[in-house]
Amino acid sequence: MKEGATLGRVMAVTICFAVIFLMVLVISLATGPGGMDLRGVFEILLRGQPVDNGESAAVEQVIIFHIRLPRCLFAAIVGAALATAGTLYQALLRNPLADPFILGISGGAALGSVVAVAAGLGALYWLRPVLSLAGALTAMALVFFVGRSGSTIRPATLLLAGVIVNAFFSALIMFFLSISTDRQLHDITHWLMGNLAFADMVNLGVLFALLAAGFVLAYAHARPLNLFLVGEETAAYLGVDVERLKVTLFVISSLLTALAVAFSGIIGFVGLIIPHMVRMVFGSDHRVLLPAAFLFGAAFLMAADTAARSIVPYVELPVGVVTALCGAPFFMYLLKRKHY
């Protein structure tokens, strides 16, 4: 299944993963402490309410439309953003170990959120994402400034700059953790492990619009990206503006990472393993890889979040714990299989 991409194959793969996404969505909506059957979920989604009207039906409507659906869609947006960013980072750095957090963007976003909580501003729900986004953009600017040599971006230098910036922001985070109260410490730690509790239907529209714009821009560079993987000299010879492509990929992937981390915290392994899982089956052609990773990342994080709120009764685990438990064994298998 690794032959070259055609329009028919791209559509077939996309439809396949779209079906998987919808199946996971329905199962996620039906799963939870007040569990309901799949038929009831379908009735509520298609008709607005179950056939059996009454008080229980009204409660189920509230659970679906006001609690679970926003949460599932939020998880899908974050998962799609991280998976797309991971695909772009692995291509940009030409490093199979690259993920959305390797260049320090997550460290900057995390620092913004930590500052908001440590300053006693955590009650302003809109301020934490704003400061997180500002921190992520600051980290992106620092990495770009340090990693760029003249008009040239060298992937190895960019990677080292990201490691340095991430270490610096991690030190600042540790400083704020050390001076935080017990209540602040719990709040910060829970967010750092991944938190999808900020789901809101009003914000979802804006987040999805930003995600869609980022994906469209990324997909528009799928063909040049394939040439870039062959080699910079070959890509330049075939008419690709290599340096411009690097800047574009860096900005798109960093903004997608900032978007995800600013609202959900640090959720590891999604951007690392999803591109690998799709690539193992469908190959490295980004015309297929990008939409497949986008949809599979959305479905994966939605399933992980469902597990996080369902595994332990009356306790919601941080979704980052579930993704790490799933991702770490797979990546160890991948390292053993590929001998990176």
Q: Which residues, listed in sequence order, are joined to residue 149 by a DSSP beta bridge?
A: 152
pLDDT for the residue numbered 56: 60
Helix ranges restricted to H, 94-238: 105-118, 127-147, 155-178, 182-192, 201-219, 222-230, 232-237
Per-residue pLDDT tens, the chain, 340 aa: give them.
455 568 888 999 999 999 999 999 999 998 877 667 777 777 777 766 555 555 566 777 778 888 888 999 999 999 999 999 999 999 988 888 788 888 888 888 889 888 888 887 766 667 878 888 888 889 988 988 887 877 778 888 888 888 899 899 999 999 998 988 888 888 888 778 888 877 777 778 888 999 999 999 999 999 999 999 888 888 889 888 998 999 899 889 988 998 888 888 889 899 999 999 999 899 889 999 999 999 999 999 999 999 998 888 778 888 988 999 988 888 888 777 764 5
Answer whether 193's CB lies under 8 Å from 62's CB: no
pLDDT for the residue numbered 35: 64
Residue range 7-338 forms a domain whose CATH class is: mainly alpha
- pTM reported for the whole predicted model: 0.90
Domain range annotation of the chain: 7-338
**Dihedrals φ, ψ of 284, to 5°?**
-105, 10
Q: Which residues, listed in sequence order, are joined to residue 148 by a DSSP beta bridge?
A: 153
Residue in this structure with the two tokens 């528009």, named with its chain if needed = 220
pLDDT for the residue numbered 221: 93
Cβ neighbours of residue 244 closer than 8 Å, sequence gap 6 or more: none
CA distances from 211 to 81, 166, 217 (A): 6, 24, 10
